[in-house]
Amino acid sequence: MTDPDSVITGRRVLWSLPTGLYLLGSTGDPTDGPWNLMTTNQVVQVATEPRVIAVSVEQGSRTNELVATTGLMALSVLRREDRAVVRRFVKPINDLELDARARPCRASGEVIHLAPNGAPVLDAALGWLAMCVVASKDFSSHRVYFAEVTDAGATPELLSAPPSDKSLSVLRMEDTRMNYGG
């Protein structure tokens, strides 16, 4: 797309695609860290057997470095009312608090815990997925990771609610002033 009008049109169309807004946790070492959480919207389930999620991560980001090292990540699914939380994770976290066992317990002011694979998840998440990378594809701006779901957790309200229950809506890009059109 080199025509300026086509670029603008393409960006507008990309902005119109419905997409969720999540936190992606990563670790350089499940036991000793470092750990990071970042806001992401480029996530989609691409296979059911095994369950595989595609996640796009910006080249040169701290998260990309950590995931490339260990192949481990965790996705926190947020409630719609948690829109302010994602803004705390648009930059790499620098204020990670550790507990007495030297495990992360708070990041950017939010309570967190480690998923079984050692990647951080938000305590307040509606649900989370722990994943292990099975493949990746590099592009100029991003690397797309294909990761198999190895573990999951959810709040009792998510587990007991029917899929049609709109009171448990997950956070989406349209709920914020954020946009991503490439």
Q: Are 106 and 122 in contact (CB under 8 A)?
A: no
pLDDT at 66: 97
Q: Are 38 and 24 in contact (CB under 8 A)?
A: yes
Rounded mean pLDDT for each run of 10 residues along the chain, 182 residues in total: 76 76 95 94 94 96 97 95 90 91 95 97 96 98 97 89 72 68 44
| Token couple for 43 | 């996530």
Give CA–CA dist 76/93, Å, rounded. Answer: 16
Count how many residues are written for the chain. Answer: 182
pLDDT at 170: 77
pLDDT at 67: 98
Q: Are 84 and 59 in contact (CB under 8 A)?
A: no
Residue from 40, 170, 37 nearest 112 by CA: 37
What is the distance, to the nearest Å, from the Cα of residue 114 to the centroid of all Cα atoms in its chain? 14
- CATH architecture assigned to 20-174: Roll (2.30)
Q: Are 75 and 53 in contact (CB under 8 A)?
A: yes
Domain boundaries, the chain: 20-174
pLDDT at 1: 54
Bridge-based pairing state of the strands 72-77 and 51-58:
unpaired
pTM score above 0.85: yes
